[in-house]
Amino acid sequence: MKIIIAGCGKIGTTIISSLVKEGHDIVAIDISPEPLEEISNIYDVICIQGSSTDCNILKEAGIEKAKLFVSVSGSDEINMLSCFLAKKLGAQNTISRIRDPHYNETNLNFIKQNLDLNSSINPEQMVAKELYGILKFPSAVSIDTFSARQFEMINMRLKPDSVFSGLSLAQTRKKYPGNYLIGIVQRDENIFIPDGNFVLQGGDKIGLSASPSEIQKLLKRSGSFQKEAKSIMILGGSRIARYLARFLLNTGHDVKIIDKDYEICQRISDELPSATVIHGDGASQELLLEEGIDSVDAFVSLTGIDEQNILISIFAASHNVPKVITKVNSSEFSTMAEKLGLDTIVSPKNVVSDIISKHARAIENSIGSNISKLYKLLDGKAEALEFRVTEDFKYQQIPLKDMQLKKNILIAGIIRKKSPLIPSGNDVIMAGDRVIVLSAGQILNDLSDIIK
């Protein structure tokens, strides 16, 4: 499928990397030659230097044959105009990166309708929502939600003394019965779709699927539950920090934000008068201690420098902050941070890449189902997808035990009439269901792709 990506910064490059791996025909556009030169050295894509608001550049890129046009430059207005022109010149679907909070929901709906935008993405707001969910449920290192939060997958790392360590999955189910599923495990660099005989170990990162109430019940019974963070210290006054603080303050949390830029501090104070805003260098351990880092429930490091986020997060963890969250954009630094003991790491570019991959596969899918959610799991080595089943799905009413599934594929959940179900071998898939699938080493465009 032909896809054109306009804007080749960190997010654009990550999107290109993901889509190239999935076999799409990619054209990259950027006003500057430097990112294009780097991309052309790494990926087999066509690179065009120029403005994505130039109709001649769009025509040179083959816009009339593009099934998807994505604009993720640093300017909301350029992104919107680029998508408008792309659609007029023949692109079938468009996605625009729109980050400014002034484009609120009412304005955004008006803009999308009048510019014929298929979709818009706000990376900072998406990451803030993800962080907010983790702070509400700190036992998890990440949370993926399906069907309006009726079904969730939480990823958590087992501590060396975890009650699950040394138990097979069958023993775990017997000791802690419930309507849940441990559907995927990462151990070191290896990914497993485990069966009942698989024995868990301390240090494993597991994907636990169930309704939110079932997950809480299991973690409370096993002593793994960590209470919601109420007092949060945020380092850095970025857009993500402001979105996150707004979410937290609206639900009664105590929020303290530290930034060394006076103007940013003043702006945050004006926007969020309920927040405590500290003007100072958050890299100073003395300042962090003075501001009570050893008494907060959570510390979130959101500066624009990966190395600083990692080092200060390690300092916070050394002072026994119950939940430490670190923003890291570099894949190499992300791996390093995990090895240094930081397990809750977020990356805006990866969040956006997942959204674009979902849209691309939804455009390509065949008759019978539609992708409504897609999440990359465990450093991108696996995926969780939600499919909406239509009347045309040809494997309806067949017991799951009789389906010949491909290797490393697992049906992790079925949502039927808003009721979540952890399926057994006797359950069947029906039209109207939403089916959650875990996949390792497979690219799924349609629910039928799980069958051999």
Residue 248 lies in a domain: yes
Question: Rounded mean pLDDT of the chain?
Answer: 92
69 class by beta-carbon count within 10 Å (0-12 exposed, 13-18 middle, 19+ buried): buried
pLDDT of residue 349: 86
One domain, residues 156 and 177? yes
One domain, residues 59 and 134? no
Residue 8, pLDDT above cutoff 60:
yes
One domain, residues 239 and 195? no
Residue 107 lies in a domain: yes
Residue 351 lies in a domain: no
Band the pLDDT of 361: cuts 50, 70, 90: confident
Residues in the chain: 452
One domain, residues 87 and 61? yes
Residue 187 lies in a domain: yes
Q: What is the CATH number of the domain that holds 131?
A: 3.30.70.1450
| Residue spans of alpha helices (H) in 167-319 | 169-175, 212-221, 239-250, 262-271, 285-290, 306-318
Measure Cα distances from 330 to 247, 342, 350 in Å: 26, 15, 10
Residue 366, pLDDT above cutoff 60:
no
One domain, residues 157 and 111? no
Among residues 99, 121, 143, the one where a domain terminates is: 121
Residue 137 lies in a domain: yes
Percent of the chain whose predicted confidence (pLDDT) is above 70 = 98
Instruction: Provide the edge-to-edge strand list for the sheet that holds 94-97.
Output: 46-49, 25-30, 2-6, 68-71, 94-97, 119-121
pTM of this prediction? 0.87
Among residues 305, 338, 371, the one where a domain terminates is: 338
Percent of the chain whose predicted confidence (pLDDT) is above 90 = 77
Quote the number of domains for the chain.
4
Domain holding 439, by residue range, is 358-450
Residue 244 lies in a domain: yes
Sign of CA dihedral 140, 126, 26, 28: negative
Band the pLDDT of 354: cuts 50, 70, 90: confident
Q: What is the CATH number of the domain that holds 8?
A: 3.40.50.720
Alpha-carbon gap, residue 245 to 303, rounded angstroms: 14
One domain, residues 106 and 27? yes
One domain, residues 107 and 200? no
One domain, residues 18 and 110? yes
pLDDT of residue 236: 97
Count of beta carbons in the 10 Å neighbourhood of residue 185: 21
One domain, residues 370 and 326? no
Alpha-carbon gap, residue 341 to 317, rounded angstroms: 9
One domain, residues 197 and 307? no
Question: Going by C-beta distance under 8 Å and a sequence separation of 6 or more, which residues neighbour residue 41?
Answer: none
pLDDT of residue 367: 55
Tens of pLDDT, residue by residue over 367-425, are: 566 888 899 888 778 999 999 999 989 999 999 999 999 999 999 999 998 899 999 99
pLDDT of residue 369: 64
Tens of pLDDT, residue by residue over 236-265, are: 999 999 999 999 999 999 999 999 999 999
- At 342 the three-state DSSP class reads coil
Residue 434 lies in a domain: yes
pLDDT of residue 148: 72
Quick one: average pLDDT of 13-21? 93
Residue 302, pLDDT above cutoff 80:
yes
One domain, residues 326 and 430? no
Query: Which is more confident, 312 or 109?
Result: 312
Tens of pLDDT, residue by residue over 328-338, are: 988 888 888 98
Residue 344 lies in a domain: no
Tens of pLDDT, residue by residue over 63-87, are: 999 999 999 999 999 999 999 999 9
Backbone angles phi, psi at 206, to 5 degrees: -115, 150
Among residues 55, 89, 121, the one where a domain terminates is: 121
One domain, residues 112 and 8? yes
